[in-house]
Amino acid sequence: MLSNMATQLNPPFHASLNLGDLGIVESVSKCLAPKLDELRGKKIVFSCDDKKMIPFDGWGMRSNPYTATIVTTIRPIKENALVAAIDSSSVKLAETEEGSLYGIKCGIATAYAGRALMHFRIGPVLFYLSESTIQYSELEERLARLVLLDDDFAKRLVRVRAERAVQKELASHFTNSIILVDGSLKASVFEDRERSISKIAESCVLRRNMMIGISKGTKFKVLDRAATPLTKVPGPAYIEVDMIIKSLIRNTVGSNSMVKLEKSSPVLRADILGDRSESLGMLLGNDPVAGGYPETLRLAHYISMFSSTEMTCLRSHVLNSYDVTELAADDIRKTLLGSISV
């Protein structure tokens, strides 16, 4: 028994440990079929920092299963209408034992008759999410718990709620206008019942507003391929992709298109509530477009971003206004991995 104990306390150790002996190499190589020969002859775009990279001239016709899709050119409609673009950003500002503090900023940029009109900055506004405060969000219990556990969900909740609130008000107050939204027109689990995308769409229809949701990138690769014919068109144009989108996701509002707003500009996904050609034509007629992206949406994005100065000021505001005590804290990754960035 004593001999056994000694063996357990001092397991056999060889200075020249070999990965092959341990079977790790084989195990890793078999965990998933690499199938690298499948790469041969393919067109490739290298990824960079998890950013969406798109080929300048599209993926080419060979790989396009939707070559038969009709490309419709967009003609700017010179009929004056107000364009209001909305964007927002949220940040996690602080954490307590019970919850987290989030900040939100919204930006609304407007244009009329092809000229920037004015813009509105809303915020920063702070929201404290904890077990006791989340109950006022009317979220389903499991979702609420998820929000408290995951910061990304929480930031999304705050952003969706704020954006929808702004969109709802714009849709209910404007008439014959274009409401531009950053991202797709898709219902979110975080929406509040009274300010859901469907309610907003309803208001838009009632007040003859058009709503366009423009996504800077799409995770559906098939859409990029479907949009290939657009790269060959010299001017603004769109392709209908309702079939693809509706087959992939539910709860979207309006029709789905891939659009190119300028010559040699990127192709974007656009969800449109209203007549496609009219909405896009009105948008081009009333909102300056630069680099293939509406200026109002770009401006709304800029003014809704948090600057580092604002972050500093928000911290100062929290410290001065809510009788909180700041604890010394450290970056856990830095502590564990060292200061060399890897």
Per CB under 8 A, residues contacting other proteins are 109-110, 116-126, 295, 299, 302-303, 307-310, 312-314, 316-317
Minimum distance between the CB of residue 173 and other proteins, rounded to whole angstroms? 15
Main-chain dihedrals φ then ψ at residue 338, nearest 5 degrees: 95, 170
Torsion, Cα 51 111 166 240, to 10 degrees, reads: -60
Q: How many CB atoms lie within 10 A of CB 280?
A: 27
Instruction: Identify which of residues 170 and 223 has a Cβ nearer to other proteins in the complex.
Output: 170
Rounded to a whole number of angstroms, the minimum distance from the CB of residue 286 to other proteins is: 14
CB 210 within 8 A of CB 177: yes
Residue 122 or 187: the one with the smaller Cβ distance to other proteins is 122
Cβ-based neighbour number of residue 110 at 10 Å: 23
State the nearest-atom distance from the C-beta of 206 to other proteins, in Å: 26
CA dist., res. 222 & res. 196, Å (int): 28
Exposure class string for 47-65: b at 16+ Cβ within 10 A, else e: eeeeeeeeeeebbeeeebe
For 272, phi then psi, to 5°, come to -120, 130
- Which one, 145 or 317, has the nearer CB to other proteins? 317
Our measurement of the distance from residue 41's CA atom to the centroid of its chain's CA atoms, rounded to an integer in Å, reads 32
| H or E element in which residue 257 lies | strand 255-260
| Cis omega (within 30 of 0) for bond into 124 | yes
CB of 119 to other proteins, least distance (A): 5
Nearer residue to other proteins within complex by CB, 4 or 308: 308
**Nearest residue to 313 (alpha-carbon basis) of 91, 120, 87:** 91
Q: What are phi and psi of 225, to 5 degrees?
A: -70, -40
Rounded least distance, CB 199 to other proteins, Å: 23
Of residues 121 and 173, the one with the C-beta less far from other proteins? 121
| Rounded least distance, CB 308 to other proteins, Å | 4
Q: At its nearest, how many Å lie between other proteins and the CB of residue 114?
A: 13
Which CB, 73 or 312, lies closer to other proteins?
A: 312
Tell me the C-alpha distance between 109 and 294, whole Å: 10
Count CB atoms within 10 A of the CB of residue 179: 25
Task: Identify which of residues 111 and 144 has a Cβ nearer to other proteins in the complex.
Answer: 111
How far apart are CB 310 and other proteins at their closest, in Å? 6
Cβ 93 to other proteins shortest distance, Å: 11
Residues ≥6 apart with Cβ < 8 Å to 65:
222, 225, 226
Distance set, CA 252 to CA 70, 100, 128, 147 (Å) = 22, 31, 30, 23
